[in-house]
Chains A and B, each alone.
Chain A
Amino acid sequence: MQPLYLDFHGKLAVTLHIRDWKHGPVRPIVAKTFSTFVRSSPSPAKECLEIEVGDFQPDLQGMQVVDDGWFIASEKVYCRYRHKIARWQAAIDGLHSVTTRFRLCGNVFSFLVFPFETLYQLVLFKLGRAGLAFVHALGTVQQNQATLLIGRSGIGKSTLGADFIREGHQLLGEDTVLIDAQGMAWAFPLPIGLRATSMLQYGISMRFSDHLLLWITRGIRYLTLGHISLFFKVDPTRLGKHSWANHAPIHSACIAIPGPQVTVNREMNSDRFVERAMRCSSFEFVLMEKVLDAHAYACSGPSAQDWFTSQGEILKTGLSHAQLRNGTLPQTIHSSTFSEWQKAMQHG
């Protein structure tokens, strides 16, 4: 089978090889998820992630047992995990080097619960190495000016974002936006509410008896109305790519806090701002955090905390560049609708 080539903004090259017939369904899942990044030929980017899905024999020689089912050596991670009847083994080679190899093998049930979370976080980790820090935010663009709404999940980013789209903004990312040290925001488009569906998988794993009922209840809780209305407006797999922007310089960045009235706090210092922004995204990075901490425990490499510090540095330089360009400060915002947001931004 032809490998699947992905190119993330010319910074990260991802190649997906399917080695095995039983893992066939993985390819369309990845292709659909990252549809904007699919290319017909390998990307020239230096930073490289090679994903191989298929049976493999792990070389456990000299590896350290961090805990049951987890083996770590320098630059190498091997783990086995299971999810009901689905079983997976995964190996990461060259965790902290330019080319990372990610091998994945499961049984015939595994594609039902394809561990998208692992792949997603690994891609974000590699992008961070390539100089694109991620924030858990909704990004929109109008007239080549990017607005970021940073906030934890469920806070109403998508709801406010739907208003933005109605006003003619383009979308940069609904869940995640990439930021470089020059103050440029880069798109990270995923199907709307995709993280929500991956939450559904965890929902299934939590309860034993009533899968279906929980699916419904979880679905209502995590797939908010904001997600659904956005889904019908700008799904990359439905509408094509015209409603998505690729990149734009940051014009304003707000940390969203839901509240009854609109207040914009312009006095916030940028260190505090970045710390809070990182806190929104750190929550979405738990799996990779575990990998990094385990690797640090075994090989005294950089831990998750070091990783977040380096991400924060990129973010800080990026935002200070944006600040110099625009003469504005980062802001906190309590807001519910676009018009309120606009009014608050104008009058402060």
Chain B
Amino acid sequence: MGDAVDFAIGEYASGALKRGVRVRVHGLAEHALPALNQKFAFFGSKTEGTPQIEVKLGPFTPNREGMTHVDHQYWAREGFLSFEETIGPTRFQCEISDLHGPTTRIRCHATWRGFSVARFAYPDLAFHEWILQPLLEVKLARQGLFLLHAAGVAQAGKAALFVGRGNSFKTTYAWHFVRQGRDFLGDDLILFDETRVFPFPTHAQYFQALVNRSLENEEQIRGWHKAHLAWKMWRSPSSAAMEKGSRNSASPEVILLFDRLRDCDSPWVETMDSKDAAIKAAVNSRMEWNPERPAKVRLGNFLHAYHYLFPGNDLDPHWPAHESALKALFRQSHCLRVVTGPRWKASHLDAVQRWIHPS
């Protein structure tokens, strides 16, 4: 077992964390460190101060003394939640304590098809996506920072965001523009407040792709495609800049919202005059839309369960602050609807190129 790993997600000013969330992970196997470091390379530094989220991985015996049985798989008392969640073949046993306090502690043990994975690998993206991310969102929102499901590139303090559902070419676009020499902001999540966006390059999608590669058919091809992109981006010259971290924020200049039409030969771009429609699309792009996912699983399920017993606090997953910040952000930038076909073509890039600020 290695030491604790720290990373801090948030806004940086001159190399130090200005506001954000510090996360500390214990109980990681030695050889799982590189995976985590790659995933959070950008944020992976020893940070001073107490962490807001402390994760302890590995098997444990849940103690449900004095807890209320909220649902079949959730137990709770004030500030404390214990649950089991099954997402595809991965099963999580999880205990979250001190939800309202300054340091929230997570104990998590993941098994994959009955095998313990925490011993030899970082629990895959499912942990990041289904347990860590909802908590991160809550903690970040307390400091006025929010997450958006988007990819983004930046240059000279101006950012372009790619917003859309899964598999709407967000990553591919980002990769192409990074190759042209722009800064990489992130390919799955973007950190933002009312006026600016902050980089969140986690490589999360790539590692999901690597995890998914055991799937069948199209998923496998798609997975390898993303892994290939990851490899290329890793080796590209701008990745060095990414690792060192131009931790600068950027103001969003243009926001592209993707639509894929099934029978669209040549892509086109149109201006979205209605910001409300753009915001709606952005909000709806957030939920993972995967037909393979069990129907009962939803992002932040455990927060819903907790909120049922203890309403009226800022752990509400429908917290309206997110939407008001999104409104402010969209109002100051140029929103475009990009209509493309179902398959990637070189002409997709040409259609968008002139809207992204010239290099």
Contacts and interface: CB of A to CB of B under 8 A. Distances in A.
Nearest to B222: A68
Given A66-B260, A66-B289, A154-B72, 15 more contacts: A62-B261, A65-B342, A66-B165, A67-B291, A152-B71, A152-B305, A153-B72, A155-B69, A202-B295, A280-B308, A286-B298, A294-B289, A297-B281, A300-B281, A303-B280
A279 interface: yes
Interface in A171-221: 199, 202, 205-209, 221
Interface of A: 60-71, 79-82, 117, 152-155, 199, 202, 205-209, 221-222, 257-259, 272, 275-276, 279-280, 282-283, 286-287, 289-290, 293-294, 296-298, 300, 303, 305
Given A279-B304, A303-B284, A65 B292 contact: no
B354 interface: no
A287 B295 contact: yes
Contacts of B218: 68
A82 B283 CA distance: 27
Contact of B296 (A64, A71, A286): A286
* 4 nearest A-B residue pairs (beta carbon): A297-B284, A65-B260, A154-B72, A81-B291
B230 to A, nearest CB: 19
A294 B284 CA distance: 7
B262 A62 contact: yes
Nearest to A306: B280
A283 B289 contact: no
30 contacts: A63-B261, A63-B262, A67-B291, A70-B289, A79-B291, A117-B295, A152-B305, A152-B308, A154-B69, A155-B70, A155-B71, A205-B294, A206-B86, A207-B114, A221-B72, A222-B72, A257-B68, A258-B68, A275-B311, A279-B307, A279-B311, A283-B71, A290-B295, A293-B287, A293-B289, A297-B281, A297-B284, A300-B281, A303-B280, A305-B318
Contacts of B240: none
Nearest to A297: B284
B309 interface: yes
Nearest to A305: B318
Contacts of B342: 65
Nearest to A282: B304
Nearest to B84: A221
Contacts of A257: 68, 309
B167 interface: yes
B181 interface: no
Contact of A153 (B71, B88, B263): B71
B165 A67 contact: yes
Contact of B259 (A81, A209, A298): A298
B113 interface: yes
A222 B294 CA distance: 16
Interface in B240-294: 259-263, 277, 280-281, 283-285, 287, 289-292, 294
Contacts of A259: 68
A205 B69 CA distance: 25
A38 to B, nearest CB: 26
Contacts of B312: 272
Given A64-B260, A155-B71, A279 B308 contact: yes
B89 interface: yes
A325 B280 CA distance: 40
Nearest to B164: A297
B289 to A, nearest CB: 4
Interface residues of B, number: 47
A300 to B, nearest CB: 5
A303 B277 CA distance: 12
Contacts of A64: 259-262
Contacts of B70: 152, 155
B283 A303 contact: yes
A282 B4 CA distance: 38
B59 interface: no
Contacts of B113: 207-209
B166 interface: yes
A81 B292 contact: yes
A61 B263 contact: yes
A131 to B, nearest CB: 25
B277 A283 contact: no
Contacts of B309: 257
Nearest to B291: A81
A86 to B, nearest CB: 13
Contacts of A67: 165-168, 289-291
Contacts of B68: 257-259
- Residue with the greatest number of chain A CB neighbours at <10 A, chosen from B218, B259, B289, B305: B289
Contacts of B91: 206
Contacts of A287: 295
B113 to A, nearest CB: 6
Contacts of A272: 311-312
Given A209-B113, A257-B68, A293-B287, A286 B260 contact: no
A209 B113 CA distance: 8
B291 A69 contact: yes
A114 B260 CA distance: 30
Contact of B289 (A60, A62, A290): A290
Contacts of B261: 62-65
A206 B284 contact: no
Most chain B CB neighbours (cut-off 10 Å) among A64, A68, A155, A275: A68
A68 B167 contact: yes
Contacts of B277: 300
B281 A80 contact: no
A62 B339 CA distance: 12
Interface string B42-78: 0000000000000000000000000011111000000
Nearest to B285: A297
A68 B165 CA distance: 10
Contacts of B292: 81-82
A153 B259 CA distance: 38
Interface in B89-124: 89, 91, 113-114
B192 to A, nearest CB: 20
A275 B94 CA distance: 27
A71 B72 contact: no
A280 B71 CA distance: 10
